[in-house]
A and B are shown apart, each in its own frame.
Chain A
Amino acid sequence: MRNVLTIAGKEVRSYFTSPVAYVLLAAYLALAGYFFWALLSAFNQSLQIYSMMRNPEMLQRFNLNEMVIVPLLHNMAVLLIFIVPAITMRMFPEEKRAGTYELLLTSPVRVSEIVLGKFIGGLVLVLVMVALSGLFGVLVTIYGNPEIPLMLSGYFGLALMAAVFLAIGTLISSFTDNVVIAYVGALFALLLLYTIGWIGETIQGAGAAIVRYISITDHFQELTKGVIDTRDLVYFATVLVIGLFLTQRSVESVRWR
């Protein structure tokens, strides 16, 4: 455990002592802020139109959670698809290029500790991102009247999703010594995972059920609706553990080539 923390601490320090963390945070929060503002403006505009039409029945149906928070969470998940690979792409390729891989692998440290340390280091950065984007939820709570438990469940889902993205990015970064390949590979895998549910509606039978189970979006959707189901939690945990386990195998196998 001490080795894990040593490596995680080194990773976190390297993110935050270089511009990397700040650039990623700024890009993420600026875009998320823009989405938030756009969604909120649309919400207000429709609200005004319906109040002018004096249609109380329609107004009743207006829901801050459904019309602002949930779409915002989905948009932020898409942002993470592009940002998480930028975190994971350096994890292994940079070590291999700099030769520090030899230092790590010849130290009395287990491969699983290296993998876990790198993952936790990245997780700290990603969780800081998700936490800071909680600001939008706070703003909505101050100026509006959303259902807070629902919102919290949504953010919890976003954090889980970010962790899963990170595990997949870590795995793909362990395959290569090239950062561009690590980025594009992770982007490809994450986009596929995010959009695979689309075909679940058109294909039939067992295939459809499998696709729907694999699709991360379907599980995330449940959480944004405030439904914290063990099945979804098991899904996130499974993908995360498989990702990290395969990373450990992949790093170990390099030695055997």
Chain B
Amino acid sequence: MIEVANLSKRYGDLTAVHDISFTAQPGEILGFLGPNGAGKTTTMRIITGFMPATSGTVRVEGFDVFEQSAEVRRRIGYLPENPPLYNDMAVVPYLRFAAKLKGMARSAIDEAVDRVLATCGLTEHGRRLLGHLSKGFRQRVGLAQALIHDPPVLILDEPTIGLDPRQIVDIRRLIKDLGGKRTVVLSTHILPEVSQVCDKVVIVNDGRVVLQDQLRNLTRTRSLEEVFIEAISREHSDGAARVAGEGL
């Protein structure tokens, strides 16, 4: 369960995120959509506790990200835009390191490593150096790292970027399977991905939420592309109308 309420983030004069609110229920895969630079990564970084918000609150599994940061972090698996890998480590030692960082009990680590290796199709590659892996494998190791402590909440920042079509299909299937009882937030700007994987859609543009609804409601009469394009151009047309109005 993720509850984001009135979240804003300013860097100096620049407002990256402006009054964003949404919730994601357990078992729900939420597609976080928007053009590049819309504020997706910033929002996710705030949810994971990597940076604080300027104002607003985020609660994860009932815990406040700012006040009870450690509790929240224990419950989140996070795959940043670039998989956070140490190039001089091999796959298994890296996953063991991640497991220890997440505070897992020593006795549970071996089993957890085997489990995520199998889930992410890495069992054969446990001894390979991370620096030698292809983009697709790096992405899978990043995902394995996010899953190692079996978190109830998953935050995935553009998990399929840079993958080849087959890997994309694999990862999407994997995410779909991961859904189940977990809460998943998935950011992307690839629309078919959302149609295939997500239950709920939140579209952001220029740091604001311009549309949020269940996927099935949005795509009842139109394609997601049409909905998306309309949503992100609405803001601009409003502005244009206002300027035009002043002219009259």
Q: How far is the CB of A252 from chain B (nearest CB, A)?
A: 11
**Contact A100:B85 (CB < 8 A) given known A107-B73, A108-B73:** yes
Of A18, A103, A255, the residue contacting B145 (CB under 8 A) is A103
Residues on A with C-beta less than 8 A from B103 are: 3, 107-108
Bound form: Cα–Cα A108–B98 in Å:
11
Q: Which residue of B lies closest to A113 (CB)?
A: B101
Q: Which residue of A lies closest to B74 (CB)?
A: A108
Interface size class of B (residues with CB under 8 A): 20 to 34
B126 at the binding interface (Cβ < 8 Å): no
In the complex, the answer to whether B85 meets A108 with C-beta atoms within 8 Å is no
Q: How many residues of A contact B (CB 8 A)?
A: 24
Q: Which residue of A lies closest to B72 (CB)?
A: A108
Q: Which residue of A lies closest to B84 (CB)?
A: A103
Q: Which residue of B lies closest to A7 (CB)?
A: B101
A14 at the binding interface (Cβ < 8 Å): yes
In the complex, the answer to whether A10 meets B52 with C-beta atoms within 8 Å is no
Q: How far is the CB of A148 from chain B (nearest CB, A)?
A: 40
In the complex, the answer to whether A255 meets B86 with C-beta atoms within 8 Å is no
Bound form: Cα–Cα A104–B98 in Å:
9
B207 at the binding interface (Cβ < 8 Å): no
Bound form: Cα–Cα A102–B80 in Å:
7
Residues on A with C-beta less than 8 A from B80 are: 99, 102-103
Of A7, A14, A102, A106, the residue contacting B88 (CB under 8 A) is A14
B89 at the binding interface (Cβ < 8 Å): yes
**Contact A108:B102 (CB < 8 A) given known A10-B97, A103-B145, A255-B50:** yes
B169 at the binding interface (Cβ < 8 Å): no
- Interface centre among A98, A99, A102, A104, by most chain B C-beta atoms within 10 angstroms, is A102
A257 at the binding interface (Cβ < 8 Å): yes
B78 at the binding interface (Cβ < 8 Å): yes
Q: Which residue of B lies closest to A3 (CB)?
A: B101
Bound form: Cα–Cα A104–B102 in Å:
9
Q: How far is the CB of A9 from chain B (nearest CB, A)?
A: 8
Bound form: Cα–Cα A129–B97 in Å:
26
In the complex, the answer to whether B52 meets A256 with C-beta atoms within 8 Å is yes
Question: CB-defined interface of B85-129 with A at 8 Å, one 1/0 digit per residue?
Answer: 111110001000110111100000000000000000000000000
In the complex, the answer to whether B83 meets A99 with C-beta atoms within 8 Å is yes
In the complex, the answer to whether A107 meets B86 with C-beta atoms within 8 Å is no
Q: How far is the CB of A160 from chain B (nearest CB, A)?
A: 30
**Contact A100:B101 (CB < 8 A) given known A106-B76, A106-B78, A108-B73:** no
Known: A3-B103, A99-B80, A106-B48. 15 other contacts (CB 8 A): A3-B100, A6-B100, A14-B88, A98-B86, A98-B87, A99-B81, A102-B78, A103-B145, A106-B73, A107-B98, A107-B101, A108-B73, A108-B74, A108-B102, A255-B52
Which residues on A are within 8 Å of B, measured CB to CB? 2-3, 6-7, 10, 13-14, 17-18, 98-109, 255-257
Which residues on B are within 8 Å of A, measured CB to CB? 11, 45, 48-52, 70, 73-74, 76, 78, 80-89, 93, 97-98, 100-103, 145
